[in-house]
Amino acid sequence: MGESLGIGLLGLGVVGRGVLEALQSNAQAYQARCGRQLEIRAAAVRNVAARADLESSGLAISDDPMGISTRDDVDIVVELMGGEEPAADCIEAALSAGKSVVTANKEVMAKRGPTLLDLAEARAAELRYEASVGGGIPIIGVLQRDLQANDVSSIRAIINGTTNYMITAMSRDGMSYDDALAEAQRLGYAEADPTSDVDGIDAAYKLAILASLAFHSQVGPGDVHRDGIRTLTARDFAHARDLGYTIRMLATARQTPMGLDLRVHPTLVPTEDPMAGVEGVLNAVAVSGDLIGSVVLEGPGAGAGATSSAVVADILEVAGRLASRQSARPLPPIDQSPVFASLADICVRTYLRLEVPDRAGVLAELGAVFAAEGVSIASVLQTPHPEQSQSADLIVTTHACSDGAIDRVLDRLQRSDSVIELGVRLRIEDGCDND
């Protein structure tokens, strides 16, 4: 079947070890599928001494990822280090040397993907990144190939397993935010520093990648509005349930007449919505197009098995092309300067939890503020505050209006004597469509 192809692994963490074990244990099957023997020539790790067991098996171990990225006997570089640096520089060096790259790095692809993809095309190399979004869900390939005939109008996704696990625990088990986070950390779903997950940074990286592909536009994480889940309480989930909704950390990308609307934030979705049933660490992506209608992909969004599966699949596809000497598919034209809609102009329904004094006249005073900004109230629910006997929780939902109008309402409420605290603001999925 011809000479072997050399692989260099950058990173041997949970996913890296999974990829290594898959390539070693399934070597014969993979050789038959791609037409070449795949040989792991070297691996880069932070602590060489801690990987002495791998050196004894004949695998060259190094703490120099850049050196492995440019080795003459490496044909495919597999980057699994995470983070922007030195990963991005290693990917760039490998592509510049004409080597193909497989990565699971959402941060690099979100921030520098278009530049690196252009470099790969210029050097007749490939850059594959299926594992950067959705773990075992093959959404990148679906957008690149299967839905190319479609004019994609929107993407709705749950693409962070950590926050989805925490939200499920808060909704189903009544946990507080702190308890849900501690449980996620105990189970290994959340890092010691959970900022990237709970503040929506991770999901914003992934949505930028999906939007770039779906809309053939250069989208970066800075173009995505994001809110995190730190302000959510178990009682918000109870109130949402009473209103016929559940809360999900939803990533949304849509084409609107005002431009691309890109958002990651906790969202009230109707209980009958498919996204409402996505629980635990599962991910789901729904894509709407003019020909396909709507298609939903759901599966494990993280973990060694799911991510390793996506990485190895990319390796095999690249290896197959190299073995058959097929050239990579040309990149479609990309809009370098897309128009982005201002969030203030986006039309939404809104859920507000306000802490107010438990006295007569408060509802009238607050109603006047909403009316002054042209915001129509859909429902009001007042419940005793769980800790303060002299105050109450006021749950307000609005009819569809501009997000900027809600900003102005909240600004006025902040200065009002009738509001003790602005507890939480959540957008509701079934607002107007901005079309």
CA distance 121 to 98: 10
> Which among 269, 275, 325, 327 is positioned nearest to 298, based on CA atoms?
275
Which tokens hold the place of 190?
A: 């959340």
> 392 in helix, strand or coil?
strand
Question: In this structure, how many other beta carbons lie within 10 angstroms of the beta carbon of residue 338?
Answer: 18
Which tokens hold the place of 120?
A: 């790969």
- Checking DSSP bridges between strand 76-79 and strand 225-226, what pairing results, if any? unpaired
What are the catalytic residues?
Answer: 206
Question: In this structure, how many other beta carbons lie within 10 angstroms of the beta carbon of residue 49?
Answer: 9
* CA dihedral of residues 64, 70, 75, 81 (deg, nearest 10): 40
User: If you search the block for the tokens 């109450």, which residue do you land on?
Assistant: 392
Residue 326's Cβ-side half-sphere holds a number of Cα atoms within 13 Å equal to 12
384 CB-contact burial (10 Å; exposed 0-12 / middle 13-18 / buried 19+): exposed
CB-CB contact of 20 with 43 (8 Å): yes
CA distance 140 to 314: 11
For residue 142, the 8-state DSSP code is I
